[in-house]
A and B are shown apart, each in its own frame.
Chain A
Amino acid sequence: MRAARKKRLYLILLIVAGVGVAAALALNAFNQNLMFFYSPSEVSSGKAPPGHAFRLGGLVTEGSVKRLSNGLTTRFEVTDMDKTVSIEYTGILPDLFREGQGIVAHGKLRGDGVFVADEVLAKHDEKYMPPEVAAALKDSHDKGVAAGAKEAGL
């Protein structure tokens, strides 16, 4: 009975150690794989890490969508109604991508400040706004209101 208990203890210790190592590995990998979201204002003010992949979201600026000569690369701007950032994407855009629509793009900043996206997401419900985009719009709107209030001397 004693031996059996000891064996069980070893088994439990082994499992605990295994789970511990696994959890440590997982959390380490986790930190390297986080994708932060930045709004166009944050990108313009240099908050986004250069050379690092992140997500950028906003409304596609009206009249900004241009197709480059190869036919597959599209360039457009996204805005949070305060600042805008140019995005370049090669490939087929999602069905719901259009001007005025809230989108989230996923990629890196190039040296010239253009965001090169490897994925563009537009949600499948038109009434649905990605929460990050909604928050970014609200932030810049609040800022606008605050600035306006200051100017008015309130």
Chain B
Amino acid sequence: MIPELGHFALILALCMALLLASVPLLGTFTRTPAWVALARPLAWAQFVFLAVAFAVLTHAFLVDDFSVLYVANHGNTKLPEIYKISAVWGAHEGSLLLWALILGGWTMAVSLFARNLSEEMQARVLSVMGMVSIGFLSFLLFTSNPFERIFPVPVEGGELNPLLQDPGLAIHPPMLYMGYVGMSVAFSFAIAALIGGRLDAAWARWSRPWTLVAWMFLTVGIVLGSWWAYNELGWGGWWFWDPVENASLMPWLAGTALVHSLAVTEKRGAFKRWTVLLALLAFSLSLLGTFLVRSGVLTSVHAFASDPARGLFILMFLMLVIGGSLLLYAVRAPEISRGGGFAGVSRESLLLSNNVLLVLMTALVLIGTLAPLLYDALGWGKISVGFPWFNSMLVTFMPLMVVLMGVGPLTRWKQQEPGELVRRLRVALAVSIIAGLAVALPLLGDSWSLGLALGLSLWLLTTLLIGLRLRLRAKGGIGGIWQDFAGRGGRSYYGMWLAHLGVAFFILGITVATQFDIEKDERMSPGQSVELAGYDIRFEGVSVVQGPNYQAERGTLHLSRDGVEFAVLHPEKRVYQVQRKPMTESGVDAGFMRDIYVSLGEPLPNGDWSLRVYYKPLIRWIWFGGLLIAAGGLLAASDPRYRLRHRRGASEGVVPAGGVA
């Protein structure tokens, strides 16, 4: 009976979405306040029904209700509680329900927190979000109902994919979805503004914090995914250029461009059309990502067993969203005013270059991801685009972007006198070139790539410090920092500062971890030792241990340096009882400067094992950098100026378009 309640709640949520998408929007045209005012209660009702549906599915997992097909396939009585909950989104139907729930959550958040919006604008934004919701809810109900029953009821469930039984993966999808779906807010703001024909600096100020928060979640989601892959896939990789990873990277790149372009639109009223286009692009890429994951059209480690009907549905939805929004854009774009002009050397032009580079990278990732589909469709053969291509693209464009990234924040809006800029930058330039060359030259470091990475990171760091010094001087010394923090615009600046610092860590982490890692595949007998980068790793053998729902062969390795033992690692090879699937659980001794990573290979005769041992210097910096970037986004979104009340936003909103510059 309870699962039917969930199904029913889902249907009601769809009804709410249908009303939300139509009534308030019509109300804004017919000027019927009662219809417009319905937007908020409808958004809340939709969220409540979705929450009920989600709670029902979670309950079904917790009480092992195997009469529900989805639970029978992915639940199990022996699953630990936390994985019973994460199993809710461990496969197709449930993860879509989570997607819909999060969309409902974002819709409700907009109805609650976007109070600085005019009533009319808010109603339109909510209506557009309702339209997106219709798409996902009908997808759920018509092709992937998570509440479908099965008879006869099996006694035991099929269990959650063992690979997903990991704390990192329990929270990775919700984070990623918060990001993906969050992009729908920026999208809805853009569409609502296009419908209303009013795109101005106020619109950018409204969208900015929402976009920043969504982008922050996307960043955290990607970082978690990468960290999970490193821990669970057993070969020490942290990024695979897998289509599904690319699917999350593309909206991230477009979102990054959007975050920067919104800054220009807010401050200077420029780039309006471009910003709108980016908002449409970022969400369309999120949808494309969903299509790629759910339809199974691409070879991927993430691919679920595919179902053509689902793929077709998403493809049509995708075309409707992209086609519809671009059509609206085409109709409305000529009415959008140009922003203020700017000189060749100015922050605007630097941010424009940043945007061009980011969009170029997005396009390259898109080409690399879709090329196999295209080649196959045209009968040119079955191809895959290798690692080296993506990497070489990254290495080509990242340095250029990082150089600009150092200059941008030190450049004035509108026009910058080049001489002054050079004076500001000369110390940073000298430091980074000298340090980079020192490491690159044969006498000292003899590593071209490390020299480049070090130079770029130092460039970022020094330019950030110079910028901080200039800002603090203007704010009255180091004591002014707190006041600056509490005031308008301060946290935006420090958020940028933190995020750019994150990039510096990221670059060094990536370079050192890939260029200086040491990997050894060894055959080891119990008691035998192997030397790795000055560390001594002693293999003590393998014993069998029993987990809650798996049996594991558990290795014991002692790590020591200069005869002093400092860690014991226990990599495991698990076999989960239900699916009989082998799984590698690596043993990692994590450190800020280096990881020692061990995974068990296969048993060999005489109690020997093949083992894989890695030394990974600075690998944590990659994720640490990513988290700094996310923290910067969050800090910037918390800027008090985004919480100014309605009156101010509205009064700015009526400034005739074009008058903002």
Contact pick for A124, options B301, B353, B573, B604, CB 8 Å: B301
Residues of B within 8 A of A128 (CB): 303-305
Pairwise interchain contact A7-B343, C-beta atoms closer than 8 A: yes
Residues of A within 8 A of B389 (CB): 29-30, 33
Contact pick for B397, options A7, A22, A70, CB 8 Å: A22
Q: Which of B4-12, B547-555, B577-585 contacts A (4 or more CB under 8 A)?
A: B577-585
Pairwise interchain contact B343-A124, C-beta atoms closer than 8 A: no
Pairwise interchain contact B341-A4, C-beta atoms closer than 8 A: yes
Any chain A CB within 8 A of the CB of B379?
no
0/1 per residue, B307-345, Cβ < 8 Å to A? 000000000000000000000000000000000010110
With both chains docked as a complex, state the minimum distance between the C-beta of B268 and any C-beta of chain A, in angstroms: 15
Pairwise interchain contact B392-A29, C-beta atoms closer than 8 A: yes
| Distance A25 CA – B395 CA, assembled complex (angstroms) | 13
Any chain B CB within 8 A of the CB of A72?
yes
Pairwise interchain contact A92-B612, C-beta atoms closer than 8 A: yes
Query: By the criterion of a CB under 8 Å from any partner CB, how many residues of chain A are at the interface?
Result: 42
| Distance A123 CA – B383 CA, assembled complex (angstroms) | 17
Nearest A residue to B341 via CB reads A4
Given A35-B384, A95-B582, CB of A30 within 8 Å of CB of B521? no
| Distance A91 CA – B581 CA, assembled complex (angstroms) | 21
Pairwise interchain contact A96-B608, C-beta atoms closer than 8 A: no
| Distance A35 CA – B389 CA, assembled complex (angstroms) | 10
Nearest A residue to B344 via CB reads A7
With both chains docked as a complex, state the minimum distance between the C-beta of A24 and any C-beta of chain B, in angstroms: 12
0/1 per residue, A121-149, Cβ < 8 Å to B? 00111111011100100000000000000
With both chains docked as a complex, state the minimum distance between the C-beta of A129 and any C-beta of chain B, in angstroms: 9
With both chains docked as a complex, state the minimum distance between the C-beta of B603 and any C-beta of chain A, in angstroms: 11
Any chain A CB within 8 A of the CB of B602?
yes
With both chains docked as a complex, state the minimum distance between the C-beta of B9 and any C-beta of chain A, in angstroms: 30
Q: Looking at B163, B382, B599, B604, which has the most chain A CB atoms within 10 Å of its CB?
A: B382
Any chain A CB within 8 A of the CB of B388?
yes
Contact pick for B602, options A4, A92, A124, CB 8 Å: A92
Nearest A residue to B583 via CB reads A95
| Distance A33 CA – B612 CA, assembled complex (angstroms) | 28
Any chain A CB within 8 A of the CB of B422?
no
Any chain A CB within 8 A of the CB of B567?
no
Residues of A within 8 A of B383 (CB): 34-37
| Distance A90 CA – B299 CA, assembled complex (angstroms) | 24
Any chain A CB within 8 A of the CB of B434?
no
Any chain B CB within 8 A of the CB of A154?
no
Pairwise interchain contact A71-B610, C-beta atoms closer than 8 A: yes
Any chain A CB within 8 A of the CB of B523?
yes
Residues of A within 8 A of B343 (CB): 4, 7
Pairwise interchain contact A33-B344, C-beta atoms closer than 8 A: no
0/1 per residue, A101-128, Cβ < 8 Å to B? 0001000000000000000000111111
Pairwise interchain contact A22-B396, C-beta atoms closer than 8 A: yes
* CB within 8 Å of B: which A15-33 residues: 15, 18-19, 22-23, 25-26, 29-30, 33
| Distance A35 CA – B396 CA, assembled complex (angstroms) | 21
Any chain A CB within 8 A of the CB of B381?
yes
- Residue positions of A touching B, CB distance < 8 A: 4, 7-8, 10-11, 15, 18-19, 22-23, 25-26, 29-30, 33-37, 55, 67, 70-72, 90-96, 104, 123-128, 130-132, 135
Extra pairs beyond A25-B396, A37-B382, A125-B303 (14, CB < 8 Å): A7-B343, A11-B349, A11-B352, A33-B386, A33-B392, A34-B383, A35-B386, A67-B604, A72-B521, A92-B601, A123-B303, A126-B581, A127-B305, A128-B305
Can you pick out 6 interface pairs between chain A and chain B where the beta carbons lie within 8 Å of each other? A10-B344, A15-B353, A34-B371, A37-B381, A37-B382, A127-B305
